[in-house]
Structure 1
Amino acid sequence: MNAIISAPELASELTGENPPVVLDVRWQLSVAKAAGEPPFDGRAEYAAGHVPGAVFVDLDRELASEPGTNGRHPLPDVTGFGAAMRRAGVTSTRGVVVYDGGQGWAAARAWWLLRWTGHPDVRVLDGGLPFWEGPLSTDRPAPAEGDFQPAPGAVGLLDADGAAGLARSGVLFDARAGARYRGEVEPIDPVGGHIPGAVSAPTDDNVAEDGRFLSPEALRQRFTALGAGNGTRVGVYCGSGVSGAHEVLALAVAGIPAALYVGSWSEWSRDPSRPVAVGPDPQ
């Protein structure tokens, strides 16, 4: 099953006999805003126009639990996540397509969670809403209750110790920007740098200038050059398990399975006992 879907393909499937459930997960990382600039509100953007039939999903409230020592976006309570997906109409036998405002991170987080909890058919709209060519709707759909029952463990999940071990025994990709990996800047977390042994692989390099994914062949070449492939175990982390999900998605497009360290740097950097590497080399 493909991990991504194009806008024309989605439009065609929505007119078919068994259209997918569509989830709108528009979200942006909460960082310092310029004075007077209002915070991003995904619900307001959804209300202003969305793919017809799409149901809004709140990343911070439904795809994560409260921030704390486990990071800024820890795993959600599985029972609550399952209930949120059923409210959105997700079933075990109907495909799901997820999109966001174009960056792809939030959609990938929903994709990963559904895959991790056992849904067999989940895809991300390549390029997000900017590539949707059909009409937008302001209706608030009320889908029939779904029957999806999450069964965690269907794809790889890492904790902090597992990530540290994989950085030594396999390959652990750091999906953040290079400057954060090197420890030159750290706008969010308490300490700059990276997990010792991790390889810098910024998420931005997974996509072309228009925001859509590179071809499977190009992605495979990229990740192979960075140490993946040939049976090597692969893991990914980022700041808080959101952009890292996008990297896991890119690896899936390339045909390379990978585990996600959900706590990521926001968890790792809050534990003073864990080592921190700085500079351009994995160390």
Structure 2
Amino acid sequence: MTTSRPAPVSPLIDADTLATALAGPRPPVVLDVRYRLGQPSQRPAYLEGHVPGAVFVDLDTQLAAPPGPCGRHPLPAPGDFGAAMRAAGVSADREVVVYDDGQGWAAARTWWLLRWSGHSAVRVLDGGFPRWAGAVETEVPEPAPGDFVPEPGALPTLDAEGAAELARTGVLFDARAGERYRGEVEPVDPVGGHIPGAVSAPTAENLRPDGRFRTVAELRSRFAGLGADGARTVGVYCGSGVSAAQEVLALELAGVRAALYPGSWSEWTADGERPVATGAERG
């Protein structure tokens, strides 16, 4: 028997639309993936209050493999990821909504992983939990197990060699803050700078001041100005493949399909033989 899959949906959902869906006959599965780089698990914040029915998913342990030569947040093994999603109630025929605390990084990572694994109906709550104005609950739900089985490969990825090649022949965006791209500071990884040929495109510029994504027209204009004009292949990296997923989502909104380099800068710099560029120029 073949499991029916929901039709593809827009990658974003607003809080009012989510509230309506939750009150409907077949509400979406909601995942709370709040996360702060370099800080402990945000599960305590989840326990203080979350969208009704939301299941907490930990980025470090459920949305990534252990850190190592492949980076600080390597892609999880499909079997492990599938088990985590099924435990959270995710099924192939049911829509999923994910939210974080507003940056969109962790929510987009979850969106990307599910889409990459073959789930077609996944949305990110635009603006994250701060935009949710409905009731919250502290009870931890016990969802019925889902049936989602990952089938990786539905979205494009890059390895280190592919990223280096794309920086020469296409457009490779560096989604980190500009000062990290330039090599002025590096708070996490051992070396500052960027992949030679990469273009600085910080994720903060994808969002409005209130944390929601900019309009499609604004995103199209931004990325076209940076070289993603529809004529060249586009890829994105960041520090460890998390914030870059937010940029991939922003590009998707703008109508540009982009590949993610999951290992990103943390994998690139794990090999001391790989070249590093610094300064504002692409190198």
Name the residue aligned to 1:13. Answer: 21
Task: Please list the CA deviations of residues 195-250 of structure 1 after superposition, one character each: whole Å capped at 9, or x if unmatched.
Answer: 01100000000001111100011001100110002231110000000100010011
Name the residue aligned to 1:137. Answer: 137
Q: CA deviation at 1:104?
A: 1.1
Name the CA distance, whole Å, in 2 between partners of 1:43 and 1:193.
33
Q: Is residue 2:196 matched to residue 1:196?
A: yes
Write out the 4+ residue segments of structure 1 that deviate beyond 2 Å after TM superposition: none
Task: Please list the CA deviations of residues 168-201 of structure 1 after superposition, one character each: whole Å capped at 9, or x if unmatched.
Answer: 1110000000011011111111111100110000
Q: How many residues align?
A: 275
Task: Please list the CA deviations of residues 244-283 of structure 1 after superposition, one character each: whole Å capped at 9, or x if unmatched.
Answer: 0010011111111101001000110111110111111112
Moved more, 126-135 or 223-232: 223-232
Name the residue aligned to 1:101. Answer: 101
Q: Identical aligned pairs, as a percentage?
A: 65
**3-state SS in 2 of match to 1:13:** helix
Name the residue aligned to 2:164. Answer: 164
Name the residue aligned to 1:33. Answer: none
Name the CA distance, whole Å, in 2 between partners of 1:165 and 1:140.
46
Tell me the TM-score normalized by structure 1. Answer: 0.96
Name the residue aligned to 1:76. Answer: 76
Please list every run of 5 or more consecutive structure 2 residues that lacks an aligned counterpart in the other structure.
1-8
Q: CA deviation at 1:6?
A: 0.5
Name the CA distance, whole Å, in 1 between partners of 2:226 and 2:57.
34
The question of whether the paired residues in 1 share the 8 Å contact of 2:41 and 2:58 is answered with no
Name the CA distance, whole Å, in 2 between partners of 1:100 and 1:230.
30
Q: CA deviation at 1:102?
A: 1.2
Tell me the TM-score normalized by structure 2. Answer: 0.96
Name the CA distance, whole Å, in 1 between partners of 2:41 and 2:151.
31
| Letter aligned with residue 193 of structure 1 | G
Name the CA distance, whole Å, in 2 between partners of 1:229 and 1:257.
11
**3-state SS in 2 of match to 1:157:** coil
Match for residue 32 of structure 2 among 24, 31, 34: 24
Task: Please list the CA deviations of residues 86-112 of structure 1 after superposition, one character each: whole Å capped at 9, or x if unmatched.
Answer: 010101011100001111111111111
**3-state SS in 2 of match to 1:158:** coil
